[in-house]
Chains A and B, each alone.
Chain A
């Protein structure tokens, strides 16, 4: 009797991609549902409000669907490819619309009282303010690492920069951010 290998998460995802490339919308739906949050978040982090970020995410998945037959995993991961489309789409949107400050009060609900919520809101605003002061190139690397959890190789692929540049920009962004947050009294 031959032992049948259980497909792991990565294999399953590759299978969905292959099926979606062949035109299977149901398989594409599985991919969309898996990456929806990531793509909305990537768009949001470019400076869009949440509604615009969701629109950009929709646009990203439509573009990815149309270009999917040309996607090759050898040129970079699926996740990095999607992020790159989302970043491009968000930048195109930002060229037409002003960045929103609507989300300033939107902070995770940790179950605390109003005082805790207010404090969390102040901390979130301070972090956002400090992030906004970073150079665009370094900020993009930091956001993809800290908020989206992309690996260095995926960030390099998503932003089309060398791996060494990812590391140096990340180091610079962190050092600068620490200084800024210390000045604001938010570090540690």
Chain B
């Protein structure tokens, strides 16, 4: 806190103007003001600034009446108990987790299929082509680069990527609920 050249820290004068000083400091400022012309001028400038700002105050007559504002709001207020107790509020999150579980199961199955196909020459060809076809939308180029007995990796990678996207969606949903439903007052700017 910077010191005023005379006796009181600079911030005290503004805090005095804003009514934010405790009694002891207020008394110190008041006794200082009796003898310090420059502080009196500074205080007058603070008051003058507040007066200048007051010209842009929001006029009362442009606002809707309190009763009308409440009437409009009341109709929008949800039944909080119903919202809090409804099992449907968790549906997006649980749904995403379930789908993600299935996708991961698919990834595990595809790895097992790849291993089985790799050990059975007669099964390798159709399964390899199936894997390549299924994976072609996302990892097809990778699947075509792999040896036949390993091309099931393309399908596994496809499932892993879908799973990662579902995880991102789940985290986004969780963030939305946390930020907008539970803690709307969390800071967004300093």
Residues of A within 8 A of B (CB): 23, 25, 28-29, 32-33, 36-37, 40-41, 44, 50, 54, 57-58, 61-70, 81, 84-85, 87-89, 91-92, 106-109, 120, 123-124, 127-128, 131, 136-137, 140, 145-147, 151-152, 159-161, 164, 167-168, 170-171, 174, 177-178, 181, 186-188
Q: Which residues from chain B contact A109 at a C-beta distance below 8 Å?
A: 59, 61
| A–B Cβ pairs within 8 angstroms, 6 of them | A61-B73, A63-B184, A109-B59, A159-B189, A174-B14, A174-B46
A149 smallest CB distance to B (angstroms): 9
Among the listed A85, A127, A187, which residue makes an inter-chain contact with B56, where contact means beta carbons less than 8 Å apart? A127
B140 smallest CB distance to A (angstroms): 38
Q: Is there an interface contact between A25 and B188, defined as CB atoms closer than 8 Å?
A: no
| Total CB contacts across the A-B interface at under 8 A | 151
Q: Which residues from chain B contact A160 at a C-beta distance below 8 Å?
A: 187, 190
Q: Is there an interface contact between B184 and A40, defined as CB atoms closer than 8 Å?
A: no
Residues of B within 8 A of A (CB): 1, 10-11, 14-15, 18, 20, 45-46, 48-50, 52-53, 55-64, 66-67, 69-70, 72-74, 76-78, 80-81, 83-84, 180-190
B66 smallest CB distance to A (angstroms): 4
User: Given contacts A67-B181, A107-B59, is CB(A145)–CB(B18) below 8 Å?
Assistant: yes
Q: Which residues from chain A contact B78 at a C-beta distance below 8 Å?
A: 62, 65-66
CB-based closest 6 A-B pairs: A160-B187, A84-B185, A63-B184, A33-B66, A188-B48, A124-B56
Among the listed A81, A108, A136, which residue makes an inter-chain contact with B55, where contact means beta carbons less than 8 Å apart? A108
Among the listed A81, A91, A137, A186, which residue makes an inter-chain contact with B185, where contact means beta carbons less than 8 Å apart? A81
Among the listed A67, A146, A147, which residue makes an inter-chain contact with B183, where contact means beta carbons less than 8 Å apart? A67
A88 smallest CB distance to B (angstroms): 5
Q: Which residues from chain A contact B64 at a C-beta distance below 8 Å?
A: 54
Give bound CA distance, A182 to B70, whole Å: 42
Q: Is there an interface contact between B10 and A171, defined as CB atoms closer than 8 Å?
A: yes
Q: Which residues from chain A contact B186 at a C-beta distance below 8 Å?
A: 84, 88
User: Given contacts A64-B184, A146-B50, is CB(A91)–CB(B189) below 8 Å?
Assistant: yes
User: Given contacts A40-B58, A66-B80, A152-B18, is CB(A58)–CB(B53) below 8 Å?
Assistant: no
Q: Is there an interface contact between B20 and A67, defined as CB atoms closer than 8 Å?
A: no
Known: A29-B70, A147-B53. 5 other contacts (CB 8 A): A66-B181, A145-B18, A164-B1, A187-B48, A187-B52
Chain B interface mostly helix, strand, loop or mixed? helix
Q: Which residues from chain B contact A40 at a C-beta distance below 8 Å?
A: 58, 63
B73, B183, B188 — most chain A CB neighbours (10 Å): B73
Q: Is there an interface contact between B77 and A65, defined as CB atoms closer than 8 Å?
A: yes
Q: Is there an interface contact between B14 and A67, defined as CB atoms closer than 8 Å?
A: no
Give bound CA distance, A63 to B182, whole Å: 9
Q: Which residues from chain B contact A171 at a C-beta distance below 8 Å?
A: 10-11, 14
Among the listed A36, A63, A106, A131, which residue makes an inter-chain contact with B62, where contact means beta carbons less than 8 Å apart? A106
Among the listed A37, A84, A186, which residue makes an inter-chain contact with B187, where contact means beta carbons less than 8 Å apart? A84
B126 smallest CB distance to A (angstroms): 52
User: Given contacts A67-B181, A108-B55, A124-B56, is CB(A58)–CB(B18) below 8 Å?
Assistant: no
Q: Is there an interface contact between A147 and B184, defined as CB atoms closer than 8 Å?
A: no
User: Given contacts A23-B80, A50-B62, is CB(A33)–CB(B49) below 8 Å?
Assistant: no
